[in-house]
């Protein structure tokens, strides 16, 4: 099977042990700034979580890593390559070394489970069908769902569909897998299973994982490092042990699930009394 891992250009990276590096990255749409001064390093072989409230810019970071978006300023380096500087052909080649698990799975509904996972192998390799079959069954076995190969996604539970999507994300043996809210909508058992699979597959395959999630409890059990993003900036970071012990107000609000704090319960608005009596 052709090597689908990304080629590394050491001269472009500060450290060959870093899979992804964002250096003082700023991004926005017209006058609206989404990210401001984002700096993070994701070591090879580690599971790193990016956490924060809705609209804080977490998924935007994934899109910058994958080259869907270009920063206004700063550097985005993936496996030694400056992503914003890649031409179309080089960008597509780089993406072949990335796996993506989309929120809610995003399986092709008119394809069977088998066909969903075989899709990338058929598109990006010239492997014979016999080997593709073996590889698909191998990926399904890794997530515990080999028996679902002939089923359509509509026949799967939410947790099973997420595990199939995970098998599809690792179909080409990527060097980096990105997860966009992999725990959303899952029951506690399925959530725990998916979390364990992300950790186990990361270590077994020697890949690097970036997990965008709101789930603090599950993340603290499985990740090596965490970044907290608020209002487009990194407001806290650390290992799970450091996060648990943190007295940073934003971290405590997020970890403890408090309604009010640095992220206020009330959106900005005129004084309540002024609104009530505005008609007088």
- Break the chain into its structural domains and give their ranges: 1-97+213-280
CATH number attached to the domain at 1-97+213-280: 3.40.50.300
Instruction: Quote the crossing angle between the two packed helices 158-169 and 113-124, to the nearest 10°.
Output: 20
Alpha-carbon distances of 245 from 85, 238, 250, 251, 255, rounded to whole Å? 40, 10, 13, 10, 11
| Residues paired with 19 in a beta bridge | none
pLDDT tens, the chain, 280 aa long: 444 443 333 334 456 688 999 999 999 888 888 899 999 999 999 999 998 877 778 889 999 999 999 999 999 999 889 999 999 999 998 988 888 888 766 888 899 999 999 998 998 888 999 999 999 999 999 888 888 899 998 998 888 888 899 899 888 888 999 998 888 777 888 888 888 889 988 998 899 999 998 888 888 888 999 999 888 889 889 998 888 888 877 777 777 766 666 666 666 777 777 777 776 5
Secondary structure (H, E, C), 118-156? HHHHHHHCCCCHHHHHHHHHHHHHHCCCHHHCCCCHHHC
- The reported pTM is 0.81
Alpha-carbon distance of 101 to 107, in angstroms, equals 10
Q: Where are the alpha helices (DSSP H) in 99-239?
A: 113-124, 129-142, 158-169, 188-205, 216-222
């Amino acid at each position: 099977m052709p090597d689908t891992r990304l080629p590394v250009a050491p001269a472009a990276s500060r450290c060959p042990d870093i899979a992804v590096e964002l250096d003082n990255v700023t991004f926005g749409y017209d006058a609206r700034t989404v990210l401001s001064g984002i700096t993070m390093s994701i070591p090879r072989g580690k599971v790193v979580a990016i956490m924060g409230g809705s609209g804080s810019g977490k998924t935007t970071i994934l899109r910058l890593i994958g080259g869907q978006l270009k920063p206004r300023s700063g550097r985005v380096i993936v496996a030694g390559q400056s992503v914003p500087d890649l031409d179309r052909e080089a960008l597509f080649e780089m993406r072949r070394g990335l796996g993506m698990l989309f929120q809610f799975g995003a399986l092709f509904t008119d394809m069977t489970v088998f066909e969903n996972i075989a899709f990338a192998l058929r598109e990006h390799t010239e492997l014979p069908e016999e080997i593709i079959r073996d590889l698909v069954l191998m990926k399904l076995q890794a997530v515990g769902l080999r028996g679902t190969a002939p089923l359509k996604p509509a026949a799967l539970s939410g947790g099973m569909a997420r595990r199939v999507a995970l098998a599809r994300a690792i179909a080409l043996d990527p060097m980096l897998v990105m997860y966009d809210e992999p725990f959303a909508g899952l029951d506690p058992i399925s959530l725990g299973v998916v979390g364990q699979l992300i950790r186990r597959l990361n270590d077994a395959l020697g890949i690097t994982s970036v997990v965008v999630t709101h789930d603090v409890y599950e993340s603290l059990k499985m990740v090596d490092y965490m970044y907290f993003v608020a209002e487009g900036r990194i407001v806290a970071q650390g290992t799970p042990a450091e996060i648990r012990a943190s007295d940073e107000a934003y971290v405590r609000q997020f970890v403890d699930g408090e309604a009010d704090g640095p992220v206020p319960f009330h959106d900005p608005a005129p004084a309540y009394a002024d609104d009530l009596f505005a008609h007088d």
